[in-house]
Structure 1
Amino acid sequence: MAELLALERLSAGYGEARVLNEVSLAIQDGRSLALLGRNGAGKTTLMNTIVGVTTHQGGTIRLGGRDITRLRPEQRAMAGVGWVPQERNIFKSLTVEENMTAVARPGPWTVARVYELFPRLQERRRNLGNQLSGGEQQMLALGRALTLNPRLILLDEPLEGLAPIIVDELLAALGRIIRDEGLTAIIVEQNAQKILGVTDDAVILDRGMVVHSSTSAALAADRVALETHLGVAGRVGHRGAA
């Protein structure tokens, strides 16, 4: 399996403030990564750095072997980096369908396939973005990112603040995207219990540095690591666990 994304001694932040300290990690094509850590650990900054909206302070980012460290955000998007930020950033004055057709690029993910993944978006296809619930806006943000047909998709806290039934629906969709479709993904999530069950690998950040790296199944079974780095007591369920 080929390496899709490689970060080598990556340091970044905002202005002169450094948040990431020589972060090195790699993700193989077709694998999914849970990016975990306490509040302020640098998770969102790492995602923003891959997208290209922070101040680069050292190190390299390679996508499919290509150095994208100096590319502008729109160039990284064209190279195959898809992004669903915490703010979702949907076009609230456009309809659901217009949100996706406005950015769609050729590839396996079409608007029709997004509707298959999220039937409630099809029901609301003529609604404006500002007429959707929070959960529906999150589905649209993910669907819009998919219609860009990225090589790598980044999701920053996609489950935050959503009702349990919507969380279950989104987790099922993420499981399909990751397991059945094989899309390479990095997912930031505060709640390890929710995300380790659908991802292949896991990295924990603390103070802008990688302090743990393993498979998601191994971390789910590692009580010491969970308690030490995340404050999670007990064993976390994983799809591969008995």
Structure 2
Amino acid sequence: MSELLRLEGVAAGYGEARILAGIDLALDQGQALALLGRNGTGKTTLINTIVGHTRRFGGRIWLDGKDITAFKPHQRARAGIGWVPQERNIFKSLTVEENLTAIAVPGPWDLARIYRMFPRLQERRANMGNQLSGGEQQMLAIGRALMLNPKVLLLDEPLEGLAPIIVQDLMRILSDIIRDEGLSVILVEQNARKALSITHNAVVLERGSVIHSSSAAELLAQDDKIDTLLAVSQH
């Protein structure tokens, strides 16, 4: 299995504030990584750093063997980094279909495939982004990221604030993307057990550093360890 993404000694933050302290992380082709940790431990900053939206103080980032450390965010997107931020960032004044096609890159993920995965988006393809529910906006954000035909998909708390039935649907879809489609994914999720149930590996952050790395199955089998690492019960 070939390595797809590597971070070596990455230190980053915002302005003068250093949030990440020497992160080492690797993701193989076709693998999914659960990125876990309490609020404020640096998970979103790490995602934003891979995307290129933070100030880098040190370290390097490689994607598919190419050093992308100096790449700007749009260059990283073109190189193969798909991103679904917490804020979703859909174009609210464009229709669903326009959102999906505006920045599409040719490849196996096309409009027909997205509509098969998200029938709700096809039903609402002529609706504006601001006419969608929170769950529909999240589906659109994921669909739009897939339309870039990325090598790796970064998902920053995609289940946050959604109704349980929507969470169930999205968990099934994310599992399909990871297990059946074999897309490489980094998933940030507050509910550790949900994230671990559909990923291959796990990393836990604390104060901007990696404090645990293992297979997802190994960590999922250790309830007490999950609770200790995250200092909160997730039952």
TM-score class, shorter: over 0.9
Alignment partners' CA distance in 1, 2:233 and 2:191:
12
- AA at the equivalent of 2:202: A
Structure 1 unmatched runs, 5+:
237-242
Q: Equivalent residue for 2:7?
A: 7
Q: Equivalent residue for 2:204?
A: 204
Q: Kindly provide the CA deviation profile for residues 45-92 of structure 1, in whole angstroms up to 9, marking residues without a partner as x.
A: 000000001000000100011111111000000100000000000000
Q: Equivalent residue for 2:223?
A: 223
- AA at the equivalent of 1:141: A
Alignment partners' CA distance in 2, 1:213 and 1:89:
30
Q: Equivalent residue for 2:193?
A: 193
Q: Kindly provide the CA deviation profile for residues 139-176 of structure 1, in whole angstroms up to 9, marking residues without a partner as x.
A: 00000000110001100000000000000100110011
Q: Equivalent residue for 1:42?
A: 42
Q: Secondary structure at the match of 2:197?
A: coil
Q: Equivalent residue for 1:119?
A: 119
Q: Map of 1:27-176 to 2, 5 A cutoff? A: 27-176=27-176
Alignment partners' CA distance in 2, 1:59 and 1:222:
32
- AA at the equivalent of 2:43: K
Residue 233 of structure 1 deviates from its aligned partner by: 4.3
Instruction: Decide whether the 8 Å contact of 1:6 with 1:61 is kept in 2.
Output: yes
Residue 107 of structure 1 deviates from its aligned partner by: 0.5
Alignment partners' CA distance in 1, 2:170 and 2:70:
33
Instruction: Decide whether the 8 Å contact of 1:153 with 1:185 is kept in 2.
Output: yes
- AA at the equivalent of 2:62: R
Q: Kindly provide the CA deviation profile for residues 80-124 of structure 1, in whole angstroms up to 9, marking residues without a partner as x.
A: 000000000000011100101111111000011011001111110
Structure 2 unmatched runs, 5+:
none
Residue 16 of structure 1 deviates from its aligned partner by: 1.1
Q: Over aligned residues, Cα RMSD in angstroms?
A: 1.1
Alignment partners' CA distance in 2, 1:128 and 1:187:
27
Alignment partners' CA distance in 2, 1:170 and 1:114:
13
Q: Equivalent residue for 1:21?
A: 21
Q: Secondary structure at the match of 1:196?
A: helix
Q: Secondary structure at the match of 1:226?
A: helix
Residue 232 of structure 1 deviates from its aligned partner by: 4.5
Size of the aligned set, in residue pairs, is: 235
Alignment partners' CA distance in 2, 1:32 and 1:18:
27
Moved over 6 A (4+): none
- AA at the equivalent of 2:126: R
Q: Secondary structure at the match of 1:5?
A: strand
Q: Kindly provide the CA deviation profile for residues 160-217 of structure 1, in whole angstroms up to 9, marking residues without a partner as x.
A: 0000000010011001111111000001011112211111111000000000001111
* TM-score, L = length of structure 2: 0.98
Alignment partners' CA distance in 1, 2:227 and 2:194:
16
Residue 231 of structure 1 deviates from its aligned partner by: 2.8
Instruction: Decide whether the 8 Å contact of 1:223 with 1:233 is kept in 2.
Output: no
